[in-house]
Every structure is written in C-alpha cells, then in structure tokens.
C-alpha cells in the first residue's frame, strides 16, 4: 500500500484536527518562541506585527526557559514532534544557544520504557539470545530517543554490542502524528491555493515514508550495510558492524563504538582531537554521500555522530536515509556552484531547463529577486553563510514566480540544515560549502566528461552489447536460409 493511502484520514476526524491544531499553536506560542523568531527578523512587517500581537497576548518573556517548555510540549505531543525538535536543536542561529542546548535532550535523553519491557521485547524477538549469545546485559539504556532505546551487552566472544529496541506501540503513535501533519498540509493547500506549488502534502508523504522505515530495523541494518560498502576504503569514516544473525524488525544488534559526540568540544579538546580536521572530514563525507553515491544519512544531528579514539567519524543511527537520482545530483551541484559564484542568471536558467518555472516568468525579474535574497546571506562572515537557508529562501519565491518545488530535496534540505548547524557549533570559522566547492567542481567536470559518459553508457548496456555477435549470427543464418 502506498504511503498516501496509509495517511488518508476519515472525514469525521477533521473537526478534531482543527481543534488540535489550534491547541498546539497556542501551546507553542506560550513557550515564548515567537520572541526569538521576531528578534531574528525572519518575517515581513505585516507578519511580524501579527506575531508581536500574538506574543504579547499569549507569549512568555522568559527566554531562558523557552527550550525547556518547548521540549516538554514536543515530548507530550508524540514522536513525530520530537523529530521536529531534534532538527530545531541544530539551529542556534534561529533559536539561540540556550534554547538549542535544551532541545538537544530530545536526541537521546528521553524517558526510557521499563527494563522488564525491554527484556521481554528482546526475548520475543530471539528467545535464545540471553542464554546462548550474551555474556552480560546492561538493563539501564545508554540512550532513549523518539522511536527506540539502546542497551549495551557483551557477547560470549567478548565483543561489546549495542542493542536497539523499538518502543512499544511506536508504529501507531508515529502514524498518528504523520496523519495529522498530512491533514495540516492538505488543509493549508485547500485554504491557500497558491501554496500548492510548495507540495506540502507531498513533502509530508516523503518524510513519512522515510521516517516510517525506522520502524523496520532490518531496513536500518540494510542501510548501514550499504553505507559501509560505499565507505569501505575511507580511513576516516567508520560504519559499525551489523550482527545480522541477531537482527530482526524490532531489534538491531550492532557493534558498540566508544566515542565522543561530535559537538562535545570540551571532550574532543581534552583528548587532543583536531576539530578542524574533523570538520573537513565531515564535509568530505557529506559531499561523497550526496554527490558520489546519491545515498545519504538523513538524520545528521550531533547525537548520531561520534568521534572514535583515532579521530574517525562514526555514524550510529541509520533509520532515516535519503536518495537522489543522478539527474537530481547534477541539478543540485550546478545550483550550489552558481549560487557560490553569485551567477544568478545561471540559477534561473537551471530552473528553466529543469521545467520548474511557470509560463511567462521573467527571467530577469527572478534573477533580481534571487540576488536580493542571496546577497545578505552570501556576504556574511564565512562561518555564518548558510546555503541551506538560502535554498529555503529561494523556495519562498515559488509563490511569486510559480517555481515548482521538488519534494525529493525536502529531506536533503533538512540534512543540509543539520550539517551546517553541526559544523557551525564545532567550528564557527569554517564554511563547509567553501570546503565542498573544489569537490563539487571536480564532480561536475567528471560527470560531464564525454569519455566518462560513454564509459557509463557501455557499462549500463554491457549485457545488451555482448549479445550483438549472437544477433548478427542469427541474422546471417536467416539470410542464408532465404538463399
């Protein structure tokens, strides 16, 4: 069954959704979050005035407790909202460091479910696991996140493992959240027809499908396995080993990694890790995943990236992964290159060639609009440049210039925001996109090399080409018979 059919909701739920959305809106405003958004000047004057009135009536002026209040609300609302909070935790440029530090607790410090339930789930998945495979098991989880919690154990051969277990009833809870998000997107598209080109409901479908894959841990294991294969020759990016013999849909058994969170600067410095090198490795890995492989880690918050004792980056969660076709990768590479080079006419031509512009759109006017939103961002100090934010601003032009929004870039943009946020936290003086520029330029050159294109064509059609002699022989036989 397609994800769209799964997200459909009965008509009788609409009044409930309307009331729920209003209550959530009020709860979020009461945290005082509008104070931060207004201060950062993200809205036009009319919108800002409305937000100021709402904030005056309902908002809190206590900036210190905004993160704490918001975290509690998101936890109470459900796992889908927690994921939203995890993404926000990487954006101190929007919410400030104090608020983001509080939201980081959503990355792995949630209240765990009882130990007896954890042991029951493990036993139900593999009744011989405790007796035949484990030498010891730690009943206290080392992490508890939105959909699962993690325990450690030691196998009888002495190897330490991490055991990830899905939370009880998580499938039902997560689906409940995404169904509401889907309705909210549909509601906005109905009320504001011009917003349809943003494809909000389609974006919810994409994010729902990707997130719901987390609920089958064999798929997560498969994703880790593919990522490991892609980086088997990379000395500074290590994917933990998957123990397939113990892994099931509800239980993932993986090599335990001793490491430091990538944003724990005090510990990184104490162990004399080179933070600049870590940033460079992270940038290279991000580029390779997105452009070389078209298969990337889609949940790159700092809680999912460890630094081992050798300084290698170690991803530890593979539930959300994204894919891009070669065509999408070429579009993205050229777009980033043109933006970094401030070649705004080329940006417009690129959108036009991809059939993303409406009819009768003035290229000059669109180019001027892109320049207007790009210049303030690209002229910032090097550590503050955000291409992810710039892409978001370009998407905001879709209403005025009828730009067709591409849902396949939704997860990537979220990943870019997380990658930028993490990079900025650990090394504010480095722009990851400047580091990526030579890699992107080389990739564009290689993918447009006629010999490279010809080589790839031969590789894809190798089996058909091998049959050519056989086909020629059959044609000769037919011609001989006719004689």
3-state helix, strand, coil in the chain (%, to 5): 65, 10, 25
Secondary structure class of 10 (helix, strand, coil): coil
Contact 217, 207 (CB under 8 A): no
**CA 342 to CA 338: how far, in whole Å?**
6
> What dihedral do alpha carbons 452, 456, 461, 467 form, nearest 10°?
50
Cα–Cα nearest to 333, from 445, 417, 444, 446: 444
User: 89: which residues sit within 8 A by CB, 6+ positions away?
Assistant: 100, 103, 104, 106, 107, 301
State the Cα–Cα distance between residues 13 and 186, nearest whole angstrom: 13
Of 138, 299, 308, 441, catalytic: 299
Among residues 332, 324, 329, 326, the alpha carbon closest in space to that of 408 is found at 324
Closest to 168 in 3D by CA, of 123, 210, 215, 219: 215
- Of 36, 106, 98, the closest CA to residue 65 belongs to 98
Residue 441 catalytic? no
Rounded CA separation 144/110 (Å): 5
Cβ contact 242:251 at 8 Å: no
HSE toward the beta carbon, residue 82, CA cutoff 13 A: 22
Question: From CA 6, how far away is CA 200, in angstroms rounded?
Answer: 17
Whole-number Å distance between alpha carbons of 249 and 257? 22
CA distance 21 to 366: 35
**What is the Cα–Cα distance from 377 to 222, expressed in whole angstroms?**
39
**Separation of alpha carbons 125 and 287, rounded Å:** 37
Give catalytic residues, as residue numbers.
Answer: 299
């Amino acid at each position: 069954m397609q994800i769209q059919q799964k997200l459909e909701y009965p008509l009788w739920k609409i009044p409930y959704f309307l009331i729920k959305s209003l209550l959530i809106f009020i709860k979020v405003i009461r945290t005082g979050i509008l104070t931060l958004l207004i201060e950062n000047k993200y809205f036009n004057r009319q919108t800002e005035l409305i937000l100021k009135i709402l904030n005056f009536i309902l908002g809190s002026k206590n900036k210190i407790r905004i993160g704490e209040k918001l975290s509690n609300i998101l936890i109470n609302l459900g796992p889908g909202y927690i994921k939203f909070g995890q993404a926000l935790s990487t954006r101190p440029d929007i919410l400030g460091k104090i608020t983001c530090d509080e939201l980081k607790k959503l990355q792995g410090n949630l209240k765990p479910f009882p130990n007896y339930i954890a042991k029951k789930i493990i036993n139900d998945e593999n009744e011989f696991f405790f007796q035949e495979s484990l030498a010891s098991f730690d009943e206290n989880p080392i992490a508890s996140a939105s959909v699962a919690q993690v325990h450690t154990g030691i196998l009888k051969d002495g190897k330490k493992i991490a055991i990830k277990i899905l939370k009880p009833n998580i499938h039902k809870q997560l689906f409940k959240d995404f169904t509401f998000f889907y309705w909210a997107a549909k509601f906005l598209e109905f009320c504001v027809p011009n917003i349809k080109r943003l494809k909000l409901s389609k974006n919810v479908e994409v994010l729902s499908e990707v997130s719901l894959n987390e609920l089958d841990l064999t798929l997560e294991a498969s994703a880790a396995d593919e990522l490991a294969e892609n980086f088997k020759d990379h000395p500074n990016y290590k994917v933990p080993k998957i123990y397939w013999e113990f892994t099931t849909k509800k239980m993932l058994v993986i090599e335990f990694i001793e490491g430091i969170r990538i944003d724990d600067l005090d510990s990184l410095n104490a162990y004399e890790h080179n933070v600049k090198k870590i940033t460079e490795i992270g940038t290279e890995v991000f580029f390779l995943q997105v452009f070389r492989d078209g298969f990337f880690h889609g949940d790159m918050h700092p809680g999912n990236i460890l630094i081992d004792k050798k300084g290698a980056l170690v991803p530890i969660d593979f539930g959300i992964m994204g894919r891009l076709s070669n065509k999408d990768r070429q579009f993205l590479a050229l777009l980033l290159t043109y933006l970094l080079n401030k070649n705004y006419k080329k940006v417009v031509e690129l959108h036009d060639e991809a059939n993303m512009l409406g009819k009768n759109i003035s290229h000059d006017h669109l180019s001027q609009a892109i320049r207007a939103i790009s210049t303030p961002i690209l002229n910032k100090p090097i550590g503050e440049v955000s291409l992810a934010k710039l892409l978001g601003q370009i998407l905001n032009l879709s209403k005025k210039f009828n730009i067709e929004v591409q849902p396949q870039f939704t997860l990537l943009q979220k990943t870019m925001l997380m990658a930028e946020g993490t990079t900025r936290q650990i090394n504010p003086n480095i722009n990851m996109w400047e580091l990526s520029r030579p890699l992107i330029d080389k990739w564009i050159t290689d993918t447009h090399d006629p010999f490279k294109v010809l080589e790839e064509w031969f590789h894809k059609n190798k089996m058909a080409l091998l049959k050519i002699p056989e086909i020629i022989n059959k044609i000769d036989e037919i011609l001989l018979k006719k004689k």
